[in-house]
Structure 1
């Protein structure tokens, strides 16, 4: 009876672990591909709806303290043409050719934020996103830039510029991307892990970089999922099941 209880407990743990693994496929970020806009593609991102020449990103907030900042939603099939508000040099699109977010870290960069709900306090979450660095047409000069990612409370752009974080907020940086004048970095993927301190927290992106001619940091395919159980957890589980089997065989041998 005791062995049966232990085995059932281990199977329950296995089921819970499998459930967590399946939950990891659910993206908690909404509109992570920036496809949902209020006023078309290739527009400056606004902070207040209805401003002429601006568009709103569903589920996201872009704010530099006064307005949406010098942030844009652009389209991969148009960004090297005159149809685009910002024309990037040497640009290579993602395979899907869809929308992406673009921010100039040196000119009124706004914080891009989204409130993430449904978190489990103490659980780890994996953040992944694609990013790249390009330069606006008509400009020259080398650049090195990166995304500062924050998880906690809503930050203010002018505070981040001087290194001040909001309370109860953790931050990580993507790897820096560097380009020569007129260059394009190509798309990269960044992966980070954050631990939830509250059931609802704000995920934010802020473009940071060195002085240079107008660069644009690009962002696409943002995803936040529950972390998959560590391999060590599965190892302990399998070891426990093996131990139960050994005990069962030993008991059977004694009875024989």
Structure 2
């Protein structure tokens, strides 16, 4: 009698490869994506504080945790706060973003003062895809009334993608949202920029930002699994043992 036995050559190697792919994460390419490293705490970027790795000439601010609707921060035109539960609006503004700690607030409609927050990303592979992820929200400057809109335009080199437009009610807050855009590198270094877009001017619309991440895109787990099955099928060898 002949008994059939299947030996799957290459299964250990596939298992090791899958284990490694699950354990190894793509390297983070952005510097200070959480805006925790600053020169002088909270304040107006480029005026009385700066965030390590980032540059801007716009009317953009860094709020330490818990300050947005309490003490606020100081800019070139004095103290600035956002509407929130601690200064007159039950809009649900939390003390911190989902990423925790500091976050950026940018005025997207201040005439003559709208400019992006930028950082050069190095170590890219030309033709490779990269995921730019971040938390964002729409808010309004405290002391002003009226509905506003908020949006981010995100550029990576010559490519630009935009978030949805948030239509913010009077004294409102959108809640924090998470976004991921995928870009293709055209050069080994690309300029990453976040440009706040808001309306109307004079009713300061602020768009918030935190937890910025830039990593190389990786295949979905399903694709890895299918690849592993294909390798197993090719490596299978039918053996016979005489009983």
TM-score interval, normalised by the smaller of the two chains: 0.7 to 0.9
Residue 236 (str. 1) matches residue 239 (str. 2): no
Partner of residue 173, structure 2:
184
Deviation, 1:81, is: 1.6
Match of 1:222 among 197, 201, 212: 212
Deviation, 1:123, is: 2.0
Which is strand-richer, 1 or 2?
Answer: 2
For 1:136 and 1:238, locate their aligned partners in 2 and report how far apart those are by CA, in whole Å: 55
Partner of residue 70, structure 2:
81
Partner of residue 120, structure 2:
115
Deviation, 1:188, is: 0.8
Structure 2 unaligned regions, length at least 5: 1-8, 75-79, 85-92
Structure 1 residue runs of 4+, over 3 Å off?
10-21, 253-256
For 2:19 and 2:161, locate their aligned partners in 1 and report how far apart those are by CA, in whole Å: 27
Deviation, 1:83, is: 4.5
Partner of residue 143, structure 1:
148
Compare 139-148 and 236-245 and name the one that shifted more: 236-245
Label 1:37 to 1:174 Cα distance change in 2 as closer, same or farther (>3 A). Answer: same
Report Cα offsets for 1:201-253 as digits up to 9, x if no partner.
111100113325111111001011122213324303322212321xx11xx34
Q: Contact conserved, 1:75 with 1:100, CA < 8 A, in 2?
A: yes
Q: TM-score, normalised by structure 2?
A: 0.79
Q: Contact conserved, 1:69 with 1:110, CA < 8 A, in 2?
A: yes
Count residues in correspondence: 218
Label 1:139 to 1:189 Cα distance change in 2 as closer, same or farther (>3 A). Answer: same
Deviation, 1:121, is: 2.0
Superposition pairs for residues 1-256 of structure 1, below 5 Å? 7=10, 11=13, 15=17, 18-19=20-21, 22-24=24-26, 26-41=27-42, 43-46=43-46, 54-62=48-56, 68-85=57-74, 86-90=80-84, 91-93=93-95, 94=97, 97-107=100-110, 108-152=113-157, 169-211=158-200, 213-230=203-220, 231-245=222-236, 248-249=237-238, 252-253=239-240
For 2:186 and 2:242, locate their aligned partners in 1 and report how far apart those are by CA, in whole Å: 52
RMSD between superposed Cα atoms in Å: 2.7
Structure 1 unaligned regions, length at least 5: 1-5, 47-52, 63-67, 153-168
Label 1:21 to 1:176 Cα distance change in 2 as closer, same or farther (>3 A). Answer: farther
Q: TM-score, normalised by structure 1?
A: 0.76
Q: 1:55 is paired with a residue of what secondary structure? A: coil
Q: 2:73 is paired with a residue of what secondary structure? A: coil
Q: 1:199 is paired with a residue of what secondary structure? A: coil
For 1:23 and 1:80, locate their aligned partners in 2 and report how far apart those are by CA, in whole Å: 37
